[in-house]
């Protein structure tokens, strides 16, 4: 047993757990069942349902919020506890509409399950119901308050995990409970019922709409059919659907999902995906993962004529242009083609990431990166984000940033040129520093200055940082105790006398302090030194996430050096966010080239001969919901995905076979992924895809990391010429769009447009011309209500628009904008 571990007994079973862990989580990890409705792992307990009642050392406690103490003895089910739980379930069942036959949740409804489990077979209480109207909360959310048991899971997940805080409880105007019940009913059941009669769920926004990220996390955690998808409602019963365990293919988070399928109709027996669900206790999805699932390439056939043309094209090709929305196996095939046919492999976003990763690895003397996102979420209490528009680039990293504020009572520094009011709202200890684009090197120097122990730094760096420290004076308020003399009249004698008392008085005074000009140069808020002092006061576990802005930065190599330097001289653990779905896999597997020349094959990209999983090319390819294979996600984990839908056309492996380079099946490439890069020689079928009860992830395997000799280096001073001024565009997608595939999905609505803040929109018309060097784009203007500032966003999710080359694979660009 470690120092911070405790031993407790639950129903006689000895359990070892981390000190401070909740009894419920310990029970779950040890396979002991305690009913629980309102609690969600990695969110704060709300005590809304009270059904997790247990006895700990003879006292009644709620297992979801009672922390284990060494030697504790827990009983999960005495007769008294069972009686209380039965009464709670009995109350939940009062006036719950009997529409289970058509309810979306029927078959996997926790109200049904617990009612049966706890043996509630008669109704002991009743009360008149009030009218509760169903309503649409957003373009994807439908709420039926008649079914709602006000467990508040939806409110909790939105606040503690997602960070939108878009839902809250509101008044229900239900009938008053008979006061006599207070005496006659079990006490928790009464308290819960009393609250139930008074509350409903409402959007926090006064408009009555959630105006949120439309991630669907709230409906995934709803235990009943109260919050459901507008698209899925009344389309299927849960038991008709086949669950295909898979991995979301839209961003580098590589989240666990289930595609849920059944035949399209009575006459069309081909499978269709009806919805995506997930292990919501352990994984949180974004709106693209949950709603962007119908991107399959349907109707593809084995077109032999086109296949012959494809083979001819491959024999002629000088280059293959592709993006990272492919599997590791496909990346290995492309690398095979490079080796055997000498073609160049062009993927600018993965190339930039690969070069950055290589530099970072060389300077720190270890492969990949030290930060581990899961550990970060569980343990870190200070997170720094650099080089990423977190709300858009990677929803899961934004959830981690938020969860650290809410659950670990942490702090967060957010460096970025684009203002984001959502990030600002994630916690009172979140400080955004909206700097001018091009000052990213200064941001890392500020991190060094704030977190490194100066005496250990090389002298030159120390002197450079000190050159920004200037003596200055500021006015501060101080409370002093002042002698105040008052005349007091003695009530008995009527005599007056003078009494002197000490009284507090607030005074202002000038004090000298050391101003940090680096913080001012970056546009940190007024009084940053004091703000930072408070932020860091209780922090002892520091992490940093680094995004795509750094990878194709004109000073990328120096940024990589600075990050290695930060890791060397501070306690900060750093994790990189791979820019697209499988950029990490592609960066490890493929030797990428800078430029295509000559005849080019485009794989889901523009080319002289185009392979397309979108069904719009010269030869069809399967989409990622029609393929088996693996991705390498940002967690440095190789995760498996399965085919949810059938596909009848050719695959990349067929082309390889026709060229004499193929395997029998695409997944035969899984065991051939390069072990020198950390992959394991494991077959696809050997890869697990699930979680344990304790939430441990058993999906695929972790990449092996290895140490090398760190390359000697000196960090350079920032290059001031990188600073961009004037009208600036940022290459960045709207929240639920990542690629051509999300755009194809029928529930993803964000258009290809210029995204701007509300204030900026006032200065532009409905449609604008954006001139980037000598190319001009006409784009409609869309308001992003959570954006602030003047920088505008140009999306890159449509490959046909060829946005990457316009930005030279970088992300900021000076542009001209005029009204059309
Ligand atoms: S909508 Fe669902 S998750 Fe939200 S409070 Fe009601 S029952 Fe609970
Ligand atoms: S969809 Fe997501 S952001 Fe919107 S209310 Fe639900 S959990 Fe919150
Ligand atoms: S799960 Fe503990 S109070 Fe609801």
Residue 589, both tokens: 């597997």
Pocket, ligand 1, Cβ cutoff 6 A: 148-154, 201, 221-224, 226-227
From residue 278, give the alpha-carbon distance in Å to each of 1, 284, 632.
34, 8, 19
Ligand of minimum distance to the alpha carbon of 151: 1
Residue 58, both tokens: 């003879």
Cα of 349 to ligand 2 centre, how many Å?
Answer: 30
Residue 594, both tokens: 């800078």
What's the pLDDT band for 609 if we cut at 50, 70, 90? very high
Q: Round the CA-based radius of gyration of the chain to a whole number and report it.
A: 30
Percent of the chain's residues with pLDDT above 90: 89
Rounded mean pLDDT of 295-321?
A: 97
- Judge whether 193 and 178 are in contact, CB under 8 Å: no
Please tell me if the CB atom of residue 282 comes closer than 6 angstroms to any atom of ligand 3: no
Residue 377, both tokens: 């979420």
Residue 441, both tokens: 């090197």
- Ligand 2, atom 5, lies closest to the CA of 166
What's the pLDDT band for 131 if we cut at 50, 70, 90? confident
Spatial distance between the Cα atoms of 673 and 679, rounded to a whole number of angstroms = 6
The pLDDT assigned to 488 comes to: 85
What's the burial of 31, exposed, middle or buried (CB within 10 Å: 0-12/13-18/19+)?
A: exposed
Spatial distance between the Cα atoms of 772 and 377, rounded to a whole number of angstroms = 39
- Site to probe by mutation for ligand 3, drawn from 23, 36, 84 as the one with most ligand atoms within 8 Å of Cβ, is 36
Would you give the distance in Å from CA 415 to the centre of its chain?
18
Would you give the distance in Å from CA 212 to the centre of its chain?
14
- Judge whether 387 and 410 are in contact, CB under 8 Å: no
For 742-780, write each residue's pLDDT tens digit.
999 999 999 999 999 999 999 999 999 999 999 999 999
Name the β-bridge partners of 20. none
End-to-end CA distance of the chain: 70
Report the interhelical angle of 187-196 vs 79-93 (nearest 10°): 20
Rounded mean pLDDT of 64-68?
A: 97
E strands present in 357-417: 382-386, 411-415
The pLDDT assigned to 405 comes to: 98
CA dihedral 719→370→448→390, nearest 10 degrees, is 70
Nearest to 326 by CA among 613, 608, 656, 548: 613
- Site to probe by mutation for ligand 1, drawn from 138, 152, 220 as the one with most ligand atoms within 8 Å of Cβ, is 152
Write down how long the chain is: 820
Name the β-bridge partners of 386. 415, 546
Which is the closest atom of ligand 2 to the Cα of 214? 1
For 327-382, write each residue's pLDDT tens digit.
999 999 999 999 999 999 999 999 999 999 999 999 999 999 999 999 999 999 99
pLDDT surpassing 80 at residue 652: yes
Please tell me if the CB atom of residue 148 comes closer than 6 angstroms to any atom of ligand 2: no
What's the pLDDT band for 629 if we cut at 50, 70, 90? very high
Number of H helices, E strands in the chain: 25, 39
Rounded mean pLDDT of 251-272?
A: 96
Spatial distance between the Cα atoms of 715 and 565, rounded to a whole number of angstroms = 8
- Looking at per-residue pLDDT, the higher value among 247 and 496 belongs to 247
Which is the closest atom of ligand 3 to the Cα of 46? 3
Spatial distance between the Cα atoms of 383 and 372, rounded to a whole number of angstroms = 13
The pLDDT assigned to 301 comes to: 96
Cα of 645 to ligand 2 centre, how many Å?
Answer: 28
The pLDDT assigned to 141 comes to: 97
- Ligand 1, atom 3, lies closest to the CA of 222
Spatial distance between the Cα atoms of 602 and 802, rounded to a whole number of angstroms = 12
**Backbone phi and psi for residue 141, each to the nearest 5 degrees, phi listed first:** -105, 130
DSSP states of 648-677 as a string? Answer: -S--HHHHHHHTT---SSGGGGGGGS-GGG
For 506-538, write each residue's pLDDT tens digit.
988 888 888 899 999 999 999 999 999 999 999
CB under 8 Å to 486, separation ≥6 — which residues?
Answer: 498, 499, 500, 501
Please tell me if the CB atom of residue 52 comes closer than 6 angstroms to any atom of ligand 3: yes
DSSP state of 593: B
- Ligand 1, atom 2, lies closest to the CA of 222
The pLDDT assigned to 451 comes to: 97
Give the residue ranges of DSSP H helices in 109-242. Answer: 110-117, 153-156, 181-184, 187-196, 217-221
Rounded mean pLDDT of 142-159?
A: 97
Cα of 145 to ligand 1 centre, how many Å?
Answer: 8
Q: What's the farthest any 2 CA atoms get from each other in the chain?
A: 118
Spatial distance between the Cα atoms of 601 and 97, rounded to a whole number of angstroms = 58
Cα of 38 to ligand 3 centre, how many Å?
Answer: 5
449 sits in which H/E element: helix 440-451
The pLDDT assigned to 621 comes to: 98
SS3 728: strand
Please tell me if the CB atom of residue 157 comes closer than 6 angstroms to any atom of ligand 2: yes
pLDDT surpassing 90 at residue 499: no
Ligand of minimum distance to the alpha carbon of 48: 3
What's the pLDDT band for 1 if we cut at 50, 70, 90? low
CB under 8 Å to 149, separation ≥6 — which residues?
Answer: 37, 49, 92, 96, 111, 196, 223, 224, 226
Spatial distance between the Cα atoms of 519 and 531, rounded to a whole number of angstroms = 12
- Judge whether 626 and 647 are in contact, CB under 8 Å: yes
Which is the closest atom of ligand 1 to the Cα of 155? 4
Order of strands, edge to edge, in the sheet holding 242-247? Answer: 242-247, 256-263, 271-277
Cα of 40 to ligand 1 centre, how many Å?
Answer: 12
Cα of 592 to ligand 2 centre, how many Å?
Answer: 39
Cα of 105 to ligand 3 centre, how many Å?
Answer: 20
- Site to probe by mutation for ligand 2, drawn from 143, 157, 158 as the one with most ligand atoms within 8 Å of Cβ, is 158
Spatial distance between the Cα atoms of 687 and 700, rounded to a whole number of angstroms = 5
Please tell me if the CB atom of residue 23 comes closer than 6 angstroms to any atom of ligand 3: no
Please tell me if the CB atom of residue 47 comes closer than 6 angstroms to any atom of ligand 3: yes
Report the interhelical angle of 556-569 vs 440-451 (nearest 10°): 10
pLDDT surpassing 90 at residue 808: no
Across 191-210, b (16+ Cβ under 10 Å) vs e yields: ebbbebbbbbbbbbeeeeeb
SS3 354: helix
Would you give the distance in Å from CA 471 to the centre of its chain?
41
CB under 8 Å to 774, separation ≥6 — which residues?
Answer: none
88 sits in which H/E element: helix 79-93
Lowest mean pLDDT among 450-454, 486-490, 572-576, 590-594: 486-490
Spatial distance between the Cα atoms of 544 and 542, rounded to a whole number of angstroms = 7
Residue 671, both tokens: 């065991």
- Ligand 2, atom 8, lies closest to the CA of 158
Nearest to 43 by CA among 543, 405, 421: 405
Tally of CA atoms within 13 A in the half-sphere of 455 that contains its CB: 0
Please tell me if the CB atom of residue 754 comes closer than 6 angstroms to any atom of ligand 2: no
Spatial distance between the Cα atoms of 644 and 630, rounded to a whole number of angstroms = 14
Residue 232, both tokens: 């899925």
Spatial distance between the Cα atoms of 117 and 33, rounded to a whole number of angstroms = 11
Across 623-662, b (16+ Cβ under 10 Å) vs e yields: bbbbbbbbbbbbbbbbbbbbbbbebebbbbbbbbeeeebb
Please tell me if the CB atom of residue 227 comes closer than 6 angstroms to any atom of ligand 2: no
Average pLDDT of the chain, as a whole number: 95
Please tell me if the CB atom of residue 212 comes closer than 6 angstroms to any atom of ligand 2: yes
- DSSP β-ladder status, 382-386 and 701-702: unpaired
Which is the closest atom of ligand 3 to the Cα of 151? 4
Cα of 398 to ligand 2 centre, how many Å?
Answer: 14
Alpha-carbon dihedral sign for residues 759, 761, 762, 763: positive
Spatial distance between the Cα atoms of 467 and 474, rounded to a whole number of angstroms = 20
DSSP state of 168: E
Cα of 140 to ligand 2 centre, how many Å?
Answer: 10
Spatial distance between the Cα atoms of 390 and 52, rounded to a whole number of angstroms = 36
Rounded mean pLDDT of 296-314?
A: 97
Would you give the distance in Å from CA 16 to the centre of its chain?
31
pTM for the structure as a whole = 0.94
Name the β-bridge partners of 141. 229
Across 345-355, b (16+ Cβ under 10 Å) vs e yields: bbbbbbbbbbb
Give the residue ranges of DSSP H helices in 230-372. Answer: 287-291, 304-316, 328-341, 348-364
Ligand of minimum distance to the alpha carbon of 162: 2
Block residue for tokens 């076979």: 657
466 sits in which H/E element: helix 459-466
- DSSP β-ladder status, 227-229 and 141-143: antiparallel
- DSSP β-ladder status, 728-731 and 812-814: antiparallel
Rounded mean pLDDT of 566-592?
A: 98
Cα of 70 to ligand 2 centre, how many Å?
Answer: 38
For 375-427, write each residue's pLDDT tens digit.
999 999 999 999 999 999 999 999 999 999 999 999 999 999 999 999 999 99
- Judge whether 105 and 142 are in contact, CB under 8 Å: no
């Amino acid at each position: 047993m470690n120092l911070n571990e405790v031993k407790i007994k639950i129903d006689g079973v000895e359990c070892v757990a981390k000190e401070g862990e909740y009894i419920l989580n310990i029970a779950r990890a040890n396979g002991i069942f305690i009913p629980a409705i309102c609690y969600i792992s990695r969110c704060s307990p709300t005590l809304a349902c009270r059904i997790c009642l247990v006895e700990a050392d003879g006292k009644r406690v709620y297992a979801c919020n009672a922390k284990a103490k060494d030697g504790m003895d827990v009983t999960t089910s005495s007769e008294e506890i069972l009686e209380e739980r039965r009464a709670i379930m009995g109350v939940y069942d009062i006036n719950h509409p009997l529409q289970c036959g058509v309810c979306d949740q029927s078959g996997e409804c926790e109200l049904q399950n617990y009612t049966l489990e706890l043996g509630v077979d008669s109704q002991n209480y009743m009360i008149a119901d009030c009218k509760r109207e169903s309503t649409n909360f957003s373009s994807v959310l439908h709420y039926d308050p008649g079914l709602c048991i006000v467990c508040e899971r939806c409110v909790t997940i939105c606040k503690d995990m997602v960070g939108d805080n878009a839902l809250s409880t509101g008044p229900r105007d239900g009938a008053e409970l008979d006061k006599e019940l207070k005496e006659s009913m079990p006490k928790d059941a009464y308290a819960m019922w009393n609250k139930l009669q008074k509350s409903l769920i409402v959007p926090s926004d006064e408009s009555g709409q959630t105006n949120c990220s439309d991630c669907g996390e709230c409906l995934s955690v709803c235990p009943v059919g109260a919050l459901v998808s507008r698209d899925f409602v009344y389309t299927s019963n849960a038991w008709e659907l086949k669950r295909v365990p898979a991995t979301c293919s839209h961003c580098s988070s590589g989240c666990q999902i289930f595609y849920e399928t059944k035949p399209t109709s009575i006459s069309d027996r081909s499978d269709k995906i009806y919805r995506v669900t997930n292990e919501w206790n352990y994984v949180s999805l974004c709106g693209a993962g949950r709603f962007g699932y119908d991107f399959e390439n349907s109707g593809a056939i084995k077109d032999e004529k086109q296949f012959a043309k494809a083979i001819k094209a491959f024999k002629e090709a000088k280059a293959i242009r592709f993006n990272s929305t492919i599997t590791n196996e496909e990346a290995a095939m492309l690398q095979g083609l490079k080796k055997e046919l000498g073609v160049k492999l062009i993927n600018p976003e993965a190339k930039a990431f690969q070069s950055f990763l290589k530099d970072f690895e060389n300077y720190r003397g270890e492969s990949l990166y030290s930060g581990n996102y899961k550990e970060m979420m569980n343990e870190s209490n200070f997170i720094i984000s650099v080089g990423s528009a977190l709300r858009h680039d990677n929803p899961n990293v934004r959830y981690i940033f938020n969860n650290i504020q809410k659950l670990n009572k942490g702090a967060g520094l957010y460096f970025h040129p684009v203002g984001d009011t959502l990030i600002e709202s994630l916690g009172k200890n979140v400080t955004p520093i909206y700097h001018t684009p091009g000052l990213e090197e200064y941001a890392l120097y500020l991190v060094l200055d704030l977190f490194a122990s100066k005496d250990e730094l090389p002298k030159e760096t120390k002197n450079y940082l000190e050159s920004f420290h200037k003596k200055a004076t500021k006015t501060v308020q101080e409370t002093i105790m002042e002698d105040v003399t008052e005349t007091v009249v003695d009530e008995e004698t009527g005599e007056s006398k003078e009494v002197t008392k000490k009284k507090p008085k607030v005074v202002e005074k000038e004090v000298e302090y050391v101003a940090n000009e680096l913080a001012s140069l970056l546009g940190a808020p007024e009084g940053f030194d004091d703000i930072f002092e408070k932020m860091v006061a209780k922090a002892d576990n520091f992490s940093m996430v680094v995004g795509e802005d750094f990878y194709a930065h004109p000073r990328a190599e120096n940024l990589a050096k600075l990050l290695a330097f930060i890791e060397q001289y501070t306690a900060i653990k750093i994790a990189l966010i791979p820019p697209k779905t499988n950029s990490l896999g592609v960066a490890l597997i493929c030797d990428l080239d800078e430029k295509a020349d000559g005849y080019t094959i485009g794989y889901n990209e523009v080319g002289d001969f185009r392979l397309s999983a979108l069904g719009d090319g010269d030869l069809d390819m399967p989409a990622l919901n029609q393929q088996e294979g693996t991705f390498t996600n940002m967690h440095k984990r190789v995760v498996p995905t399965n085919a949810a839908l059938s596909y009848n056309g050719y695959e990349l492996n067929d082309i390889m076979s026709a060229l004499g380079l193929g395997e029998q099946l695409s997944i035969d490439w899984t065991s051939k992924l390069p072990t020198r890069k950390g992959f394991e020689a494991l077959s696809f079928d050997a890869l697990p895809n699930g979680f344990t009860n304790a939430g441990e992830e058993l999906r695929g395997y972790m990449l092996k990391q290895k140490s090398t000799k760190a390359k000697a280096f000196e960090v350079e001073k920032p290059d001031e010429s990188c600073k961009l001024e004037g009208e600036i565009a940022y290459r960045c997608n709207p929240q639920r769009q990542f690629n051509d595939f999300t755009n194809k999905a029928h529930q993803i609505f964000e258009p290809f447009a210029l995204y701007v803040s509300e204030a900026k929109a006032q200065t532009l018309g409905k449609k604008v011309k954006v001139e980037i060097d000598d190319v001009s784009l006409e784009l409609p203007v869309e308001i992003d209500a959570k954006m602030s500032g003047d920088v505008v966003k140009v999306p890159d999710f449509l490959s046909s628009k060829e946005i990457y080359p316009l930005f030279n694979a970088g992300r900021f660009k000076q542009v001209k904008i005029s009204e059309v």
